Structure 1
Amino acid sequence: MSRSVRSQFPGIQALSTRIRTLTLGFGEGDDPLYADLPKPSRMKVERKPYPTPMKVLIRRAKEEREARKAQPCRLLEEPPGNGLLVPELVDVAHRVYRARESVLFGVSKLLDVVPLQRCRYCFEVHIGSMGHEIRTCTGPNSGVRCATHVWRRGGVQDVIYFPSCFHLYDRVGKPRVGHDERYSVRRIPAIVELCIQAGLDLEKYPTKRRMKPVYCIEGRIVDFESEAKKDETKSGLNSEDSKSQLLGSAKLGSLINSAAFAVHEKGNNTRDLSTVTLQSWFEMISGVRKIMDKYSVQTCGYCPEVQVGPKGHKVRMCKASKHQSRNGLHAWQEATIDDVVGPNYVWHVRDLHGPALDNNLKRYYGKAPAVVELCVQAGAPIPDQYRSMMRVDVVPPDRDEVDLVA
């Protein structure tokens, strides 16, 4: 813009400065409700980024080693590292489990109304009457098809993905599953295992609940609870305290059924059902974040494998990059919430019955988790935290106007 034009129209200079300032502010993350589009998927040979910087991890390891040398035998006091439950997270675990059941129930009902498409060769998912034309397919023979997707009907597992992990009976005493135990130990969704370790009781998946903290002797966990438990049984101190801590987990089945029935009653209208499902989604995500702040979850740095617990398992089942050098073992690191609950981002569609999304206009389209997009298309209001990611305020040009837009 020339200086003469700026002098004749001073408002243009102020407007351009304002737009530049807002763009920089959003990029720096000043607005907590701003969320940009998710980054493109990494290459298979690259490792996942560490949530905690490596320098911080090395410093923590040195501090733990020095503390172990200074005090070889010590009583672990803070839960859950000492084998006890975190009291304030027991109720959160129950709410997360009920919210997960409500989300699965709502998604299964909404798919009867809103169409869902899935690519035949890759994991791309699209919500709409027809698949989009954006060339992002990475499946077999994608180069021959110019990276175009081949669409077919999808299901609930395509909307939301819960990776599985090994169920641990004792997360502190025996935190690892050996390679020879890979067929004898059951695998369950990682979010369910996280809730179980945080205080949820399920009859199908028993787990050990301690009343006394464990000891750490030269880096090894030693449990002296067996004798103490016998003394408590003789003196009449049974597990009344533990039952009160579990918040009536024996009635968990009835709570789940009543919650699902309530969602079904409210779901007489598709808009109400989508709103309740979206609320359950946010309740589940917020609860998982709270639990993961205390309970550690491990993931492989090269593949989607997840293990809930202080350590990863020893099953040699990794087939990702550089697995030959690790003899098939996983490269364990700290997991994030996206590793426990796969959001599966999809393109946002303004009109389900409109034309398919054009590949030349993909920079004007927004994205959102598949559950959020499904609920929005079913009538739920757009959440504020995903409004910028879905680019609701962006007006995409028509197909014949692509060359006219800068």
Structure 2
Amino acid sequence: MSFRNRKLLQSSSSIILRGFRFYNTKSNPKVDFNKLRPMILKRIEDRAQEYPVKTMLPLAHEVLNARATLYDGVSTLIQHIPIWACKDCPEVYIGEGGHLIRTCHGYKHHAKNKVHSWVKGSVDNVIVPVETFHLHKMFQNVINHHERFDYDRIPAIVELCLHAGADSNHQTDSSTLLTPSSPEPLSGDELRILATRTLKAWETLRTGVHKLLLVYPARVCKHCSEVHVGPSGHKARMCGVFKFESWRGTHFWQKAGVDDLIPPKLVWYRRRQDPPILVDEGREYYGRAPVLLDLCSKAGAIVPSKYFCMMKMDGMTAPIKQ
């Protein structure tokens, strides 16, 4: 081997080995986890002293106020705008009557592509209730399966705000936020103002929850809609309640996002160029929209431009069969 080739081989070997360190495992002592456990627990206790973050307290109050405004607005709007819910699946539609799109899969997904069975909808069909265990303190022992009845279930957004230092005496039951069942007559302008305020509260709520999740951890199960607000998920074996696939299984936790605490729940959106009743043949042309956005837009609120793409506002209409 020539001197030049030998130098090239040495330089290439140094490049490959650069950045790596080799340790002699026999000389290194083994890690004693029994000694590390008290240190880890002490660090968790010290971390708890840093919460709640005082600068996040006004944001928590803003989120709770937006939530109350949202429930008040939706409960009033559904008394003036028709809302329909399928009694066999979670499908919802806003309009004078239900659509004819065959997307119903039945109660336990046993059916396939059948027509929906429409009934009058409620507030829970617009604002999907997401509940979680109410912790006595943010950093506490993990809830075991046999302890699941020792903790109350409250809205996940309220639990997140309580972790942020909000007043614990705040209304935690969604039913207490609803207005009386007797509707009051509203003019077109009053209905439009209410819809605009409700849509603004929804946007404020989602933005505030997004900021709170950057500071306070929350978990969601990968296989179902269970949410847990806290540094680690609980051990209650409830997975499968929503999908009936792994009954009474353990949850597979991952980081939660805004859509996990505030599900947008997309619905079919009827545009100006669409027929009065949406049929199954034109489903590829129809747009989709969050149910609350559709409700507020039909009451006169202006739709933000960021939703135009998913709503297909200027899209083509379905061809009419001769």
**Structures share a fold, TM > 0.5?**
yes
Asked if 1:114 corresponds to 2:35, the answer is: no
Q: Note the C-alpha offset of 1:159.
A: 0.6
Greater length-normalized contact order (CA 8 Å, ≥ 6 residues apart)? 1
Asked if 1:155 corresponds to 2:122, the answer is: yes
Aligned equivalents of 1:187, 1:266: Cα separation in 2: 39
* Counterpart position of 2:276: 355
Between the aligned residues of both structures, percent identity stands at 37
Give the residue type in structure 2 aligned to 1:88. Answer: T
Does the 8 A contact of 2:105 with 2:113 survive in 1? no
Q: Note the C-alpha offset of 1:321.
A: 6.8
Work out which of the residue numbers 116, 131, 136 in structure 2 matches 1:169.
136
Q: Note the C-alpha offset of 1:397.
A: 3.5
Q: Note the C-alpha offset of 1:182.
A: 1.8
Aligned equivalents of 1:313, 1:132: Cα separation in 2: 40
Does the 8 A contact of 2:82 with 2:95 survive in 1? yes
Instruction: Classify 1:99/1:270 alpha carbon distance in 2 versus 1 (closer, same or farther; 3 Å).
Output: same
Q: For 2:55, what is the secondary structure of its paired residue?
A: helix
Work out which of the residue numbers 66, 90, 93 in structure 2 matches 1:123.
90
After TM superposition, the score normalised by the length of structure 1 is: 0.61
Q: Which has the larger radius of gyration?
A: 2
After TM superposition, the score normalised by the length of structure 2 is: 0.76
* Counterpart position of 1:301: 222
Does the 8 A contact of 2:274 with 2:318 survive in 1? no
Work out which of the residue numbers 52, 56, 59 in structure 2 matches 1:92.
59
Instruction: Classify 1:204/1:104 alpha carbon distance in 2 versus 1 (closer, same or farther; 3 Å).
Output: closer
Aligned equivalents of 2:45, 2:145: Cα separation in 1: 31
Asked if 1:374 corresponds to 2:272, the answer is: no
Q: How many residues align?
A: 277
The ranges of structure 1 where at least 4 consecutive aligned residues each deviate by more than 6 angstroms after the TM superposition are 77-80, 141-145, 264-268
Aligned equivalents of 2:273, 2:316: Cα separation in 1: 16
Work out which of the residue numbers 302, 310, 313 in structure 2 matches 1:389.
310
Does the 8 A contact of 1:122 with 1:139 survive in 2? yes
Q: Note the C-alpha offset of 1:201.
A: 1.1
Compute the RMSD of aligned alpha carbons.
Answer: 3.4
Aligned equivalents of 1:141, 1:169: Cα separation in 2: 36
Q: Note the C-alpha offset of 1:75.
A: 7.0
* Counterpart position of 2:260: 339
Aligned equivalents of 2:153, 2:130: Cα separation in 1: 10
Q: For 1:201, what is the secondary structure of its paired residue?
A: coil
Asked if 1:179 corresponds to 2:145, the answer is: yes
Following superposition of structure 1 onto structure 2, how do residues 221-300 of structure 1 map, counting pairs within 5 Å? 269-300=190-221
Q: For 2:317, what is the secondary structure of its paired residue?
A: coil
- Give CA deviations for 1:247-293 in whole Å, capped at 9, x if unaligned: xxxxxxxxx99xxxxxx999971000000101101000000000011
* Counterpart position of 1:20: none
Aligned equivalents of 2:318, 2:69: Cα separation in 1: 38
Give the residue type in structure 2 aligned to 1:127. Answer: I
- Structure 2: unaligned runs, 5 residues or longer: 1-31, 179-184
Does the 8 A contact of 1:267 with 1:273 survive in 2? no
- Give CA deviations for 1:199-223 in whole Å, capped at 9, x if unaligned: 21122799xxxxxxxxxxxxxxxxx
- After TM superposition, the structure 1 stretch with the greater mean CA deviation from structure 2, 373-382 or 196-205, is 196-205
Q: Note the C-alpha offset of 1:189.
A: 0.5
Q: Note the C-alpha offset of 1:77.
A: 9.9
Aligned equivalents of 2:311, 2:154: Cα separation in 1: 33
- After TM superposition, the structure 1 stretch with the greater mean CA deviation from structure 2, 354-363 or 109-118, is 354-363
Aligned equivalents of 1:167, 1:287: Cα separation in 2: 20
Give the residue type in structure 1 aligned to 2:72. Answer: F
Aligned equivalents of 2:41, 2:225: Cα separation in 1: 36
Instruction: Classify 1:265/1:91 alpha carbon distance in 2 versus 1 (closer, same or farther; 3 Å).
Output: farther
- After TM superposition, the structure 1 stretch with the greater mean CA deviation from structure 2, 384-393 or 374-383, is 384-393
Aligned equivalents of 1:267, 1:200: Cα separation in 2: 36
Q: For 1:269, what is the secondary structure of its paired residue?
A: helix
